[in-house]
Amino acid sequence: MKKYRVLVFSNVPAHANPCDIYVCEQQPAVDLMQSAAASSALSEVGFIYPEHNHHILRIFSPKCEMQSCLHATLAAHFVFNKKRLNEFSDGLLFQQQKTNAVYTANKISLPVTCLTSAQIFNKFEGQLPSFLSSCVSSWAATTASGRLRLMVELANEQQVKHLQPEVFNSVSHDNPMLESFFIYSALDDSGSYAGRMFAPALGISEDPVNGNSCIALFSKLRLDDEKLTAIKVKQNEGAWVEINLLNTQAFVTAYCSIEHEYLFNAEISA
């Protein structure tokens, strides 16, 4: 078994969102995968193992198995292609779906599905906490688990920067239907935004870079303006999430690199 520490969205460790990807010879036990994620000090951890003619990808946060995670999916596809697992497999399946990634030496591009109008709620019906009450707008989007991602637009980037992750702990506790929070603002450049994502319910105080939140934002903006074809979201000073529409398909492209590679003598299987 091998473990790869993958830097996603930036090749600079301080700016990237790192993800551990385990490549296993057989399916690991679920409790061991969860334990590895809980002890990783990372937002998510991915596991790749063979099954029939394909390889399977499963993703865990420190608290639970994830039904969707763009960050870990990008990292897994990067390892799957860079380490040439794709040469001995009919593809990498996540949630029983095969994704055709576009791989280059230091980038991976994934087609993504935009949210529909039925998955986006133009107004959040709950009560916003006082520190967000002066927001420009608030709305919500469904997540893969069926819960909600609260999306809040603030007036400027400085307001986004000044937020402390711990302020979302009580909000999350009091609103169990809220899985995560994405706080963003428009930047001066057209189509550019700054954003931060918090998900204490998933054991993630703050996700350094979160692609799924950016897809939700792109989906909402596309519903409001069908001529929109691209956005960039700055998640920290050195990492951007770029979403582009090619014909009718949206793609997320990310810089990736392998920071460390570890070899284990034993499999983490039952």
Q: What CA–CA distance (Å, rounded) separates 228 from 23?
A: 38
pLDDT of residue 13: 85
**Distance from chain centroid for Cα 256:** 14
Listing DSSP states for the chain in one string gives -EEEEEEES-SSTTTSEEEEEEE-SSPPPHHHHHHHHHTTTSS-EEEEEEETTEEEEEEE-SSSEES--HHHHHHHHHHHHHTTGGGGSS-EEETTEE---EE-SSEEEEEEPPPPGGGEESS--SPPPGGGTT-SEEEEEE-TTS-EEEEEE-SSHHHHHT--GGGHHHHHHH-TTEEEEEEEEE-SSTTEEEEEEEEGGGTEEEESS-HHHHHHHHHHHHHH-TT--EEEEEEETTEEEEEEEETTEEEEEEEEEEEEEEE-SS----
Q: What CA–CA distance (Å, rounded) separates 135 from 104?
A: 40
Q: What CA–CA distance (Å, rounded) separates 269 from 169?
A: 34
Instruction: Give the model's confidence band at 215: pLDDT under 50 very low, under 70 low, under 90 confident, else very high.
Output: very high
Dump pLDDT digits (tens) for 24-65: 999 999 999 999 999 999 999 999 999 999 999 999 999 999
The rounded mean pLDDT for the chain is: 92
pLDDT of residue 265: 63
> Looking up tokens 């951007």, which residue turns up?
240
Domains and CATH numbers, the chain: 2-113+254-263 (3.10.310.10), 117-248 (3.10.310.10)
Active site residues: 44
Q: What CA–CA distance (Å, rounded) separates 3 from 256?
A: 15
Percent of the chain residues topping a pLDDT of 90: 79
Instruction: Give the model's confidence band at 267: pLDDT under 50 very low, under 70 low, under 90 confident, else very high.
Output: low
- 152, amino acid identity: V
Dump pLDDT digits (tens) for 170-182: 999 999 999 999 9
Dump pLDDT digits (tens) for 118-168: 999 988 877 888 899 899 999 999 998 999 999 999 999 999 999 999 999
Q: What CA–CA distance (Å, rounded) separates 35 from 224?
A: 42
CB 148 within 8 A of CB 140: yes
- Res 268 pLDDT > 60: no
**pTM (two decimals):** 0.83
Percent of the chain residues topping a pLDDT of 70: 98
- Determine the average pLDDT of the residues in 12-29: 93
pLDDT of residue 269: 54
Instruction: Give the model's confidence band at 12: pLDDT under 50 very low, under 70 low, under 90 confident, else very high.
Output: confident
pLDDT of residue 214: 96
Closest CA to 81 of 110, 44, 40: 110
- Res 230 pLDDT > 80: yes
